[in-house]
Amino acid sequence: MTASYWGFTITDGALRMLVLLHFHTLGYKPLDLAILFLLYEAMGIITNLFGGWLGVRFGLRLTLFAGLFIQVVALLMLSAMPTDITISLSVVYVMTSQALSGVAKDLTKMSSKSAVKVVVAEDDQGTLFKWVSILTGSKNALKGAGFFIGGLLLQEFGFQGALNLMAGGLFVVLLACTHLLKDDLGKSEKNVTFKEMFSKTREINYLSAARIFLFASRDVWFVVGVPVFLASTAGWNYNQVGASMASWIIGYGIVQAYVPNLLRHRSSLSHVTFSAKLWCFILLFIPILIALGLSNIVSDWLSGQEIEYNPALWLMIGLAIFGVVFAVNSTVHSYLIVAYSDADKPSLSIGFYYMANALGRLIGTFLSGFIFQYWGLLACLIISSIMVLIALVLTFPLGNVRDEKAD
């Protein structure tokens, strides 16, 4: 299950970088680039909601295989895009392929995250925290590698060649894992009604709402603003942009995998909910400081001190700090949703939660292109801090319901 998800994740990261850099080169504006990814995120909302129900009803093996197969189809569809169609038709075509990729991504992610809950004993919260962190961290590290691979493949093989290579590699992964998973993995013995997809506990509802704004706070400047800023304002080439974004995601994933060690003395549910509030509070100030560094206030002061000012360097340092703190936040949230989920049907709650995650990415992706195009990166960073503040407020009601039941 995990190995299949890793293979998928590399193609997912590479595809994002391929589309972003290729269509930026063709002259697409930041808002146009954001629109290309809107259906990708929108389909994640629908897929996570119904995918969780499918996982409980028919097993996680089916949802995983469906995700891998749909991604292969999406890659081949994009590689076959006609070169003589108009820009408006090409936008529709790319959005459609990205919609399929969005379905594929969330089916595979929901399957792998739910499998962890199934195989770990319900009363072993420390082990659960450890394995959720490892899975989440390794996924993001490999997605970062995919960013680098996407930029490299685009440089060396072109747009269509890169897509065909990825489709072939992922199809091999699909064939290799067809005989290694049990048919009933994650399948509930109880009948699951459609109503249960929306019937969630208080903690899951608040955590899901916080997740919307947490991920919107990242994507509002990371998805379009940062790579386009580096490519246009800083003048970086494909490999440089791809490598920088890859390094950020890989480092982000490494930090996520290390979070249980960072919080090893505070792995109980009550301590982790406190950590969710604390680290979100720290995150609040980082986009503001990055925006301050990119503003004329700092650049003028440094010029007066005869110090060379490099806005790209300031951005990358700020992005690295943001990535560390955001990684802790994301991992803590990922653990909490698994811990709050029912052991016999975890994919229902996890699917609902990642539906909120997809909604946050959808909002952040659109705003990243829209705000960057009309007001620039500074405005994206200010909006990011506002969204972190909202996420922080939504974590306040989180309690330790599992610990209370155990007591």
Q: Are 279 and 329 in contact (CB under 8 A)?
A: yes
Coil, helix or strand at residue 393:
helix
d(CA 20, CA 34): 9
Question: Cα(63)–Cα(52) distance, rounded to whole angstroms?
Answer: 9
At 71 the pLDDT is 92
- Inside any domain, residue 362: yes
Helices of type H across 26-124: 30-36, 38-58, 60-79, 87-119
CA distance 276 to 269: 11
80 phi/psi in degrees, rounded to 5: -90, 10
What token pair was written down for 78? 């994009």
Is there a domain that residue 94 lies in? Answer: yes
Q: What is the pLDDT of residue 403?
A: 44
**Separation of alpha carbons 240 and 236, rounded Å:** 6
Pick from 202, 203, 206: which is nearest to 390 by CA?
206
Closest CA to 387 of 205, 221, 203, 140: 221
Q: Is residue 397 domain-resident? A: yes
Question: What pLDDT, on a 0 to 100 scale, did the predictor assign at position 348?
Answer: 65
Q: State whether residue 397 is helix, strand or coil.
A: coil
Nearest 10 degrees: CA dihedral of 85, 90, 92, 95? 150
Sign of CA dihedral 125, 389, 348, 142: negative
Range of the domain at 338: 2-180+194-406
- The burial class, CB within 10 Å (0-12 / 13-18 / 19+), for 5 is buried
Cα separation, 310 vs 298, whole angstroms: 11
pLDDT at 405: 40
pLDDT score recorded for residue 275: 87
Could you give the angle at which helices 87-119 and 311-340 cross, rounded to 10 degrees?
A: 50
Q: Which CATH number does the domain housing residue 253 bear?
A: 1.20.1250.20
Residue 178, both tokens = 């067809």
Within a domain: 187: no
Give the C-alpha separation, 35 to 30, whole Å.
Answer: 9
Domain count, the chain: 1
Backbone φ and ψ of 59, nearest 5°? 100, 155
147 residue type, one letter: F
Report if residue 267 sits inside a domain: yes
CA distance 188 to 51: 14
Q: What is the DSSP letter of 120?
A: S
| Category of 29 on φ-ψ map: left (φ > 0), alpha (ψ -120 to 50) or beta | beta
pLDDT for 282: 96
Structure tokens at 117: 């809950």
pTM assigned to the model = 0.73
Q: Can you give the pLDDT of all 407 residues of the chain as single tens digits? A: 777 878 888 888 889 888 888 887 888 887 888 888 888 888 877 887 777 667 667 777 778 888 899 999 999 999 998 877 777 788 888 889 989 998 888 888 777 767 666 666 555 566 666 777 777 777 777 887 888 888 888 888 888 899 999 999 899 888 877 766 665 555 555 555 555 555 567 888 888 899 999 999 999 988 888 888 888 877 787 778 878 888 888 888 888 878 877 776 555 677 888 888 999 999 999 999 999 888 877 666 665 666 666 778 888 899 999 999 999 998 888 888 877 776 555 556 676 777 888 889 889 988 998 999 899 899 999 999 999 999 999 999 887 544 444 33
Residue 226 lies in a domain: yes
Is residue 189 one of the residues assigned to a domain?
no
Write the single-letter amino acid at 122.
Answer: E
Structure tokens at 214: 């947490």
Distance separating alpha carbons of residues 66 and 59, to the nearest angstrom: 12
Q: What is the pLDDT of residue 187?
A: 54
Please tell me the distance from the alpha carbon of residue 34 to that of residue 24, in angstroms, as a whole number: 11
Inside any domain, residue 186: no
